[in-house]
Amino acid sequence: MCSVQRTIRSLDRGDLRDALALAAAITVVGMSFGALAAAAGVPFGLAVAMSVLVFAGGSQFLAVAVVAAGGAPLAAVAAGLLLNVRHLPFGLAVGENAGRSWPARLLGAHIMIDEVVAFSRARPPERAGLAYRLCGILLFTGWNVGTVVGLVAGAAVPDPDAFGVDAAFPAALLALLLPSLRGADAKRVGLAAAVLALAATPFLPPGLPVLVALGGLVLAGRPARGSG
């Protein structure tokens, strides 16, 4: 328990506050997932298991929508997995933040979502690992509490779009990304990635446009001297 207390003491207050803001927003989205699952006739236990075991909001919404629209469960799984392929390159990039010991890595893998990746990358290296776990555990908790509340409240859950929650997430990611966009090479790659993702979105199934954005790397050029 000593190490738990040490961990709590070494938590950065700002990190905790920022992660709690994200957790509050994800709880609202979790509620809307629970409400959608209830409306689509997904059994309570199955919807809860989805949020606990998959913990990837986009793929959960997509899978439920595919089945609700009459698609086969296999098609729902394929669509969800395609959306989650981006986690592999994320792991390559933030593997050290996710954990170094085996138990830490096994946990770190499960709590890896876009916001956690961006959150840990925005922290200095000495705090990045702790920030990753803090953010991941809080978001996991918020998502699952939200799911249960949404399943119980059903149609009584208001549309999160009415509160602008759909704008909160890209804005939060953008805020977390700004420090990594300082270099000229990152600016070039980022701009190309945005253009590619937007151009591909009307034509490709969800998940692929973001992978197409990786094509922005052709503008990476050579590393600038001194800035790595």
Secondary structure string (H, E, C) spanning 3-62: HHHHHHHHCCHHHHHHHHHHHHHHHHHHHHHHHHHHHCCCCHHHHHHHHHHCCCHHHHHH
| Amino acid at the residue 89 | P
What is the C-alpha to C-alpha distance for residues 198 and 9, in angstroms, rounded to an integer?
A: 43
Query: Contact between 197 and other proteins (CB under 8 A)?
Result: yes
31 Ramachandran zone, left/alpha/beta (phi>0; psi -120 to 50)? alpha
Could you tell me the smallest distance in angstroms from the CB atom of residue 5 to other proteins? 26
Please report, for residues 176, 209, 220, the alpha-carbon distance to residue 216 in angstroms, rounded to integers and kept in the order given: 19, 12, 7
Nearer Cβ to other proteins (5/126): 126
Q: Pick from 7, 21, 156, 158 the residue near other proteins by CB under 8 A.
A: 21
Nearer Cβ to other proteins (141/215): 215
Task: Kindly tell me the burial class for residue 185, based on how many C-beta atoms sit within 10 Å of its own C-beta (0-12, 13-18, 19 or more).
Answer: middle
Query: Contact between 57 and other proteins (CB under 8 A)?
Result: no
Q: Which part of the chain contacts other proteins (CB under 8 A), choosing from 4-12, 138-146, 150-158, 206-214?
A: 206-214
Q: Which part of the chain contacts other proteins (CB under 8 A), choosing from 1-9, 63-71, 123-131, 140-148?
A: 63-71
Closest listed residue to residue 217, CA positions, set 182, 191, 199: 191
Query: Contact between 114 and other proteins (CB under 8 A)?
Result: yes
Task: Return the SS3 of 35.
Answer: helix
Query: Contact between 11 and other proteins (CB under 8 A)?
Result: no
- Binding residues for other proteins, how many (CB under 8 A)? 97
Q: How many helices (H) and strands (E) does the chain have?
A: 12, 0
What string marks each residue from 151 to 170 as x (binds other proteins by CB under 8 A) or -?
A: ----------xxxxxxxxxx
Query: Contact between 69 and other proteins (CB under 8 A)?
Result: no
Nearer Cβ to other proteins (93/156): 93
Nearer Cβ to other proteins (6/77): 77
Q: Pick from 44, 91, 137, 148 the residue near other proteins by CB under 8 A.
A: 91
Q: Which part of the chain contacts other proteins (CB under 8 A), choosing from 61-69, 123-131, 137-145, 149-157?
A: 61-69
Contact 35/157 with Cβ under 8 angstroms?
A: yes
Contact 155/174 with Cβ under 8 angstroms?
A: no
Nearer Cβ to other proteins (31/192): 192
Q: Which part of the chain contacts other proteins (CB under 8 A), choosing from 3-11, 123-131, 147-155, 183-191?
A: 183-191
